[in-house]
């Protein structure tokens, strides 16, 4: 495909992704056990923005502003963050089977949340504890890599360090569940680990925004360096790049996105694995288009799955279960393509 045509195709795909995200954003306000018609949604949102009197009921306004708006925003941000983190890790490790939890961020955040729940800490402390433990887990994996790496095998040692930390923290999660009160704490820990947005609030969204912006901004500015890193350390060094510093920066940014997402929504798997492949299919492997497309597809995908989770049954299905049901067959499809040499 000619370069000019490829750019036009990518621009068209990104524009389409923006349209789909906007449609899903406004359409999600109308979905739920308490349906609100489109005119009602426009009336409620418009009255807040432009200051005219709202003719909708107080209950409808409360549902839109206190329940659906935080949940919709959280789904978009969490899905986008996990997808971008997955795309970064896959490019950095030159492996299409990599996901954001490869360095133990998800296990670390899960342990932090489990300990906070076990100690009956307030909800805000559960999120902070999960976020801090997620960062600490990746820091430990990086420390292991620095201690045992001999230079050329840095990526392999980093992955092995992540496996060590992830296994260790997962064992501590199991221990925490074992000693938790089976009547109260154990169900709460288990439900949190399955992932979901049923209890999210506007404060949770505001908690997610700073680490997300801090993680996204450097990635947006350094996308071409990530392209160079995907070719290998020697090629990147030949271009004059500081490979060690850039790898640390990319890992830090992706870790911020992953830890903040898990702190808000729990352990939602597969998004960081399958969404970058969908985005790559739409716009190609160039990170200049891949990262924005991953952002759009990831946010839209999780919002769509969240709508299904709260509409399919009377009792809400945890998001982690639904994403696993969708992700496992797709992962099998990726393995088949890899076997055929198409990946």
Look at residue 114 and tell me whether its pLDDT is greater than 60. Answer: yes
Output 23 or 156, whichever has higher pLDDT: 23
Sequence-ordered list of residues with C-beta below 8 angstroms from that of 166, at least 6 positions apart, any chain: 101, 102, 103, 104, 106, 107, 137
Confidence of residue 24 (pLDDT cuts 50, 70, 90): very high
How far apart are alpha carbons 273 and 277 in whole angstroms?
A: 7
How far apart are alpha carbons 94 and 341 in whole angstroms?
A: 15
Look at residue 172 and tell me whether its pLDDT is greater than 80. Answer: yes
Confidence of residue 339 (pLDDT cuts 50, 70, 90): low
Q: Which one, of 88, 83, 78, 70, lies nearest residue 247 by Cα?
A: 88
What percentage of the chain reaches a pLDDT higher than 90? 37
Q: What's the mean pLDDT in 128-146?
A: 91
How far apart are alpha carbons 251 and 104 in whole angstroms?
A: 12
Fold of 3-339: ABC transporter involved in vitamin B12 uptake, BtuC (1.10.3470)
How far apart are alpha carbons 308 and 304 in whole angstroms?
A: 6
pLDDT of residue 6: 62
Sign of the Cα torsion 98, 107, 189, 212 reads: negative
Mean pLDDT across the chain, nearest whole number? 87
pLDDT of residue 5: 64
Confidence of residue 341 (pLDDT cuts 50, 70, 90): low
How far apart are alpha carbons 153 and 176 in whole angstroms?
A: 35
pLDDT of residue 164: 92
Q: By three-state DSSP, how is residue 342 classified?
A: coil
pLDDT of residue 244: 83
Which tens digit of pLDDT belongs to each residue from 31-84?
A: 888 888 888 888 888 888 887 777 778 888 888 888 899 999 999 999 999 999
Q: What's the mean pLDDT in 129-155?
A: 85
Q: Taking the mean position of all CA atoms in its chain, how far away is CA 157? A: 24
How far apart are alpha carbons 201 and 67 in whole angstroms?
A: 7
Q: What's the mean pLDDT in 292-314?
A: 90
Output 330 or 292, whichever has higher pLDDT: 292
Classify each residue of 253-292 as buried b or exposed e, where b means 16 or more C-beta atoms within 10 Å of its C-beta: bbbbbbbbbbbbbbbbbbbbbbbbbebbebbbebbebbbb
Residues in the chain, overall count? 343
DSSP letter for each residue of 236-301 = HHHTT--HHHHHHHHHHHHHHHHHHHHHHH----SHHHHHHHHHHHHH-S-HHHHHHHHHHHHHHH
Q: CB 148: neighbour CB atoms within 10 A?
A: 13
Look at residue 1 and tell me whether its pLDDT is greater than 60. Answer: no
Q: State the pTM of this model.
A: 0.91
Which tens digit of pLDDT belongs to each residue from 180-238?
A: 988 889 999 998 888 888 888 888 888 888 989 999 999 988 888 888 887 777 787 88
What percentage of the chain reaches a pLDDT higher than 70? 95
Domain residue limits, the chain: 3-339
Which tens digit of pLDDT belongs to each residue from 255-292?
A: 999 999 998 998 888 899 889 988 988 898 888 899 99
Sign of the Cα torsion 32, 196, 264, 295 reads: negative
Q: What's the mean pLDDT in 135-160?
A: 83
pLDDT of residue 208: 83
Look at residue 300 and tell me whether its pLDDT is greater than 90. Answer: yes
Q: 155: exposed, middle or buried (C-beta count within 10 Å: 0-12, 13-18, 19+)?
A: middle
Confidence of residue 152 (pLDDT cuts 50, 70, 90): low
Q: CB 85: neighbour CB atoms within 10 A?
A: 34
Confidence of residue 151 (pLDDT cuts 50, 70, 90): low
pLDDT of residue 31: 86
């Amino acid at each position: 495909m000619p370069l000019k045509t490829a750019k036009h195709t990518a621009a068209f795909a990104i524009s389409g992704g923006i349209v789909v995200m906007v449609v899903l954003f406004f359409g999600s306000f109308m979905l739920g056990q308490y349906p609100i018609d489109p005119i009602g949604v426009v009336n409620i949102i418009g009255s807040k923005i432009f200051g005219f009197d709202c003719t909708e009921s107080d209950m409808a306004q409360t549902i839109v502003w206190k329940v659906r708006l935080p949940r919709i925003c959280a789904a978009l941000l969490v899905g986008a963050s996990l997808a971008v983190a997955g795309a970064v890790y896959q490019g950095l490790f030159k492996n299409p089977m990599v996901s954001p939890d490869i360095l133990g961020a998800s296990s670390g955040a899960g342990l932090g949340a489990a300990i906070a729940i076990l100690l009956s800490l307030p909800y805000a402390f559960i999120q902070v504890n999960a976020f801090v433990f997620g960062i600490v887990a990746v820091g430990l994996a990086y420390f292991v890599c620095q201690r045992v790496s001999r230079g050329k095998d840095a990526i392999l040692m980093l992955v092995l360090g992540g496996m060590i930390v992830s296994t260790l923290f997962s064992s501590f999660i199991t221990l925490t569940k074992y000693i938790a009160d089976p009547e109260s704490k154990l169900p709460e820990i288990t439900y949190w680990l399955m992932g979901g947005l049923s209890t999210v609030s506007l404060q949770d969204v505001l908690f997610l925004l700073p680490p997300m912006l801090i993680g996204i901004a450097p990635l947006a500015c350094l996308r071409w360096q990530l392209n160079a890193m995907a070719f290998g350390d020697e090629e990147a060094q030949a271009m004059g790049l500081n490979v060690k510093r850039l790898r640390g920066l990319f890992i830090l940014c992706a870790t911020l996105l992953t830890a903040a997402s898990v702190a808000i929504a729990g352990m939602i798997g597969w998004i960081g694995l399958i969404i970058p492949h969908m985005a790559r299919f739409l716009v190609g492997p160039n990170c200049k288009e891949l990262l924005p497309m991953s952002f759009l597809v990831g946010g839209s995908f999780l919002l769509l799955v969240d709508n299904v989770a709260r509409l399919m049954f009377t009792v809400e299905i945890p998001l982690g279960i639904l994403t696993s049901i969708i992700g496992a067959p797709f992962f099998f499809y990726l393995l088949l393509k890899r076997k055929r040499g198409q990946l």
